[in-house]
Structure 1
Amino acid sequence: MGECKTIQRSLRSEIEHHLKERGYTLTRLSEITGINQGVLSDLLNRIPPRSMKIAHLDAFADAFGQSQGWLYELYESECFAEGKVSRSRVIPYLVRCAEIGRRDCIDSIVSKLLDDQKNISILFQVAEQLFTNGKRKESILFYQLVIDTEKNSYNERFVIAQYRLFRALQGTDSEKNWKAVIQFDPYRKRLPENYQLDALLQLANVCFSLHKWQEVERYADELRELATAVYQDELRARKMNRKIIPPKTERHLVVYYGQGFLLKSAALEKQGLYAEAKKYISGYADLSEFELLDETGRIEVEKFRLWATANRYTLDVLLGDIEVLPAYTRFLMDHPKEILSGLIAIMESANRHRFKVDGILEQFSSQIHDFTEYENSIQMDRYFRFRYELATYRLQNGQYVSGMEDILRCLVLATIMKNDSDFIRCVTLFEAFRPHATDQQKTEYKQIMEGIRNEEVDFASNRFSFGTV
């Protein structure tokens, strides 16, 4: 305990030094920090001193003009009292260390915490707090520590850590996203129902962005089955006048039920099974009879009704029914959020069935110009697919300069996403039409390839205005 007291004195002696240097009284320090003067006295003068919160130390740093993380390396002793860890101090401390990047402090205190298996719960709580506060990347280290340290793979904490880690690892890198799916997949059915509904929806969405259609089908089937079981349990409870405690999920139950049908239909569509895909649209087209609907649920039902209309148009177009194009384009104009998905289907069908859509491209030119924001991997994948189909259309119709420009854009997007199959498709298409490329385009193509060889991706993305038609 002697060493611990020395560190405590060092922490407080630093604060005392700055107090004297600036000529602050406790009254003045209280005014600056907002900390009660009596609390300040207990923190600095009482014997033994009152344990300091990390928020107190941050307030002192601000008062003395110091940077974030000031004296954090000396704060560790505040987290232990008589050899016991203080959860109320160590958890906020680790959260703050993660937020500001003090990995040295994290490593030091974690090594001590892991001397006792019971402290895994502390690491899990830190991870959960970071995750729920939107600090997902910062939570990864702590979830991984829980996974690496927890001996029981059926422990609920271990399984939830696996799920949270899967969510936290999602980004625009296709390879990393797929590895995260593979790592989490074996644990999905061990989750409590509320987490399992969310997990299946997320797994299906990630696999959708990766074009893993059979996996999308599998997760969609499981999602539909589980959502139906939960729904029926709630209905039985209502009929028996039992109190209903619905599972605490991120979305309304009707979302999981409807998405089970929607994702199944979408996966079948992507495999060219259009007739089968149409059958599943009826499963989510009208969910107004779904019981237990509140206002949020009714809003979701209307969304599904809208998507069903859009997806019926999509399937008709993909089947080559160009008679629906005027009605489809009017629908897209009335529902701007559906434009990107709709244009992908229209361009894909135009390439397959060889009909012209220049007028439609002109009609949506301003919207296409605004296709520049990617909030997630699914949106980036959709934009890639649109650009690739647009490039193919232009090249097939002799619009070589603009078509090759689109392929260069697609190459950059495929590189950012680290999607090897899409990258190969772009290279193949560029090489097939290389004689039609301008000297400038050939130079840019060479630069992109050299950047990839040197693992330099960012330089190329700055070259293009991705929204240009």
Structure 2
Amino acid sequence: MEITPTIRAEVQTYLIRKSLTMTEFGHMIDLNVGTVSGIVTGNRSISVHQLDRITMGMNLPPDYFYERYIEECIEEEPLNWRRISPFLYRCVELGRLDCLRRVVGMLLDNPVYLPSLFEVAEDSFKKGYTEAAAFLYENVAEGERYQYSERLAVCQYRLFTIRIRDDQEKNYDAAIQFEPYVERLDEVDQLEALKDLANTYRSLRKWDKVELFAKTLEIKADIQYKLDQAHDVKKENLKKPVSPPFAYWAFSHLLRAEVCEARKDYEKALQHTYKYADLSWVKETDEVTFKWKRRYEEWSEANAYVNKLHAGEISVLDDYVASFSSRSEEILPGLDNIIEAANRFRLDIDHILKQFEKEILTLLDKPECMGVYNQQFTTERFTHFLRELAIYLLRKGRFSDGFTFLFSCLEKSAESNNRIQAIRCMRLFTHFKEHASAHTKEVYGDLIKAVNEDEE
């Protein structure tokens, strides 16, 4: 069994091999000779900053000594947060989750370190180190004694945010897991959390859940707006939500309009649409307020057309197209609404598809989230659009194009673990199977085989 030399021994060997004095090496790595001497002789503890300077001077990878640093400078000495904290941050930055796990495991034996670990998790999350942040949040949550603590709720909210991706099954699990904690967040933070939760269920088309959290969001946003208006202290001293409270209130009605639309109650959908269209009661006149008012005005105009279109008022079609044609983030939702109405009322919209041919091909390459739409909403909306477009083309006898879009929908549904949409694609192929060429059937068979292998 090979014995690994200590950090100090390896530094000493390096100096001898390179014929360097401690003074010369100190100049190279910007450390004074006393510090270098103390480190080499073992009379001085090593900080992670000093370790990084030494490693750089020896032309080694920055994390080369990290495992030995844990053994020699953390495990063998009394726990010292001032020394450990910078090391944890470096482990996060360098992706050394194995080292992070070892040190955190030691710290969790003492609950006094939970608040500090939570701060490291928050900093890691803000800087985009989500894998490390998720590990830290999970451990802080497990170590939290009080189930109704705000810190535990924040950990669960962050984990929910990190876990939401394109996989529909995992998104549903993440939402269900976070649900019990949303009311335990700070009242201001609840607004954004409720919006995120409702948006996730929206992308899953779980309309009862969307309605439940949209109603809660309306009540809490209304309370927060009134509190803001009534406060005597300066507003800059108050904690503020990500968006103005009235914007959450308006969004709650936008969501409820969408729920009513899904239930084919277009009259009630219009009532909610007209509610968020009229924000004249909002007193603020700053640029952020103006931006949100203008945005909801645009959405209400477009969604009023959608409600009327789905209710059978075909005359609004051209006006609806004009309302979103110049706004890139609204093209996918707009086309999806139009193709769905075309299939329901057997409309000919070839001229519209031709108008947006370039945008459709761009979406096929990679649908990207734009504006206020997150990735899971965009992905779900795109798969829905692909299937509706396939239906439209297959009914018109354009079988080659229809099957192309159908297979694309099946592929995207499998990638996002959207089983309901995948099953609908299979049923649709079965319905039009007699019009498929031998090559098309072979492609379908290979696709189904790949999907089944992914399932396994």
- TM-score, normalised by the number of residues in structure 2: 0.90
Alignment of 1:284-363 (within 5 A): 284-363=276-355
- Structure 1 counterpart of 2:335, which letter? L
1:271-303 deviation per Cα after TM superposition (whole angstroms, max 9, x unaligned):
222111111112222325413453222212211
Q: CA deviation at 1:99?
A: 4.2
Report the equivalent of 2:416: 417
| SS state at 1:433 partner | helix
Q: CA deviation at 1:155?
A: 1.7
Q: 1:236 to 1:66 in 2, by over 3 A?
A: same
Alignment of 1:157-176 (within 5 A): 157-176=151-170
Report the equivalent of 1:463: none
Q: 1:155 to 1:432 in 2, by over 3 A?
A: same
Report the equivalent of 1:114: 108
Counterparts of 1:295 and 1:81 in 2: how far apart (Å)? 57
Report the equivalent of 1:452: 451
- Structure 1 counterpart of 2:90, which letter? R
Q: 1:365 to 1:437 in 2, by over 3 A?
A: same
Match of 1:14 among 10, 13, 16: 10
- Structure 1 counterpart of 2:292, which letter? E
Counterparts of 2:381 and 2:444 in 1: how far apart (Å)? 23
- Which shows bigger deviation, 356-365 or 20-29? 20-29
- Structure 2 counterpart of 1:443, which letter? E
Q: CA deviation at 1:28?
A: 5.8
Counterparts of 2:378 and 2:19 in 1: how far apart (Å)? 57
How many aligned residue pairs are there?
445
Report the equivalent of 1:44: 39
1:400-428 deviation per Cα after TM superposition (whole angstroms, max 9, x unaligned):
11111111001111111101111111111
Q: CA deviation at 1:43?
A: 6.4
1:374-403 deviation per Cα after TM superposition (whole angstroms, max 9, x unaligned):
341111111111111100111111111111
- TM-score, normalised by the number of residues in structure 1: 0.88
Aligned 8 A contact 1:127 1:143 in 2:
yes
Alignment of 1:159-238 (within 5 A): 159-237=153-231
Counterparts of 1:201 and 1:448 in 2: how far apart (Å)? 36
Counterparts of 1:16 and 1:299 in 2: how far apart (Å)? 63
Q: CA deviation at 1:40?
A: 4.9
- Structure 2 counterpart of 1:339, which letter? I
1:92-116 deviation per Cα after TM superposition (whole angstroms, max 9, x unaligned):
3233324444333223222321221
Q: 1:408 to 1:234 in 2, by over 3 A?
A: same
1:108-163 deviation per Cα after TM superposition (whole angstroms, max 9, x unaligned):
22232122122222332222121111122331111111222222111221111111
Counterparts of 1:368 and 1:43 in 2: how far apart (Å)? 66
Aligned 8 A contact 1:351 1:392 in 2:
yes
Q: CA deviation at 1:81?
A: 8.8
Alignment of 1:398-417 (within 5 A): 398-417=397-416
- Which shows bigger deviation, 305-314 or 345-354? 305-314
List gaps (5 residues or longer) in structure 2.
Answer: 370-374
Q: Percent same amino acid among aligned pairs?
A: 31
CA RMSD of aligned residues (A): 2.5
Counterparts of 1:339 and 1:412 in 2: how far apart (Å)? 22
Q: 1:20 to 1:188 in 2, by over 3 A?
A: same
Aligned 8 A contact 2:107 2:113 in 1:
yes
Aligned 8 A contact 1:394 1:402 in 2:
yes
Q: 1:354 to 1:144 in 2, by over 3 A?
A: same
Aligned 8 A contact 1:43 1:52 in 2:
no
> Are 1:273 and 2:268 counterparts?
no
Report the equivalent of 1:156: 150
Aligned 8 A contact 1:227 1:257 in 2:
yes
Counterparts of 1:20 and 1:275 in 2: how far apart (Å)? 85
Q: 1:66 to 1:186 in 2, by over 3 A?
A: same
List gaps (5 residues or longer) in structure 1.
Answer: 1-5, 458-469
Aligned 8 A contact 1:288 1:298 in 2:
no
Q: 1:283 to 1:25 in 2, by over 3 A?
A: farther
Counterparts of 2:278 and 2:299 in 1: how far apart (Å)? 11
| SS state at 1:287 partner | coil
Report the equivalent of 1:378: 377
Q: CA deviation at 1:88?
A: 3.2
1:191-232 deviation per Cα after TM superposition (whole angstroms, max 9, x unaligned):
111221111010011111111111111111111111110110
Q: 1:203 to 1:32 in 2, by over 3 A?
A: farther
| SS state at 2:384 partner | helix
Report the equivalent of 2:83: 89
Counterparts of 2:34 and 2:248 in 1: how far apart (Å)? 50
| SS state at 1:316 partner | helix
Aligned 8 A contact 1:80 1:86 in 2:
no
Q: 1:236 to 1:61 in 2, by over 3 A?
A: same
Q: 1:196 to 1:436 in 2, by over 3 A?
A: same
Report the equivalent of 1:145: 139
- Structure 2 counterpart of 1:324, which letter? V
- Structure 2 counterpart of 1:242, which letter? V
Counterparts of 1:171 and 1:28 in 2: how far apart (Å)? 52
Aligned 8 A contact 2:171 2:200 in 1:
yes
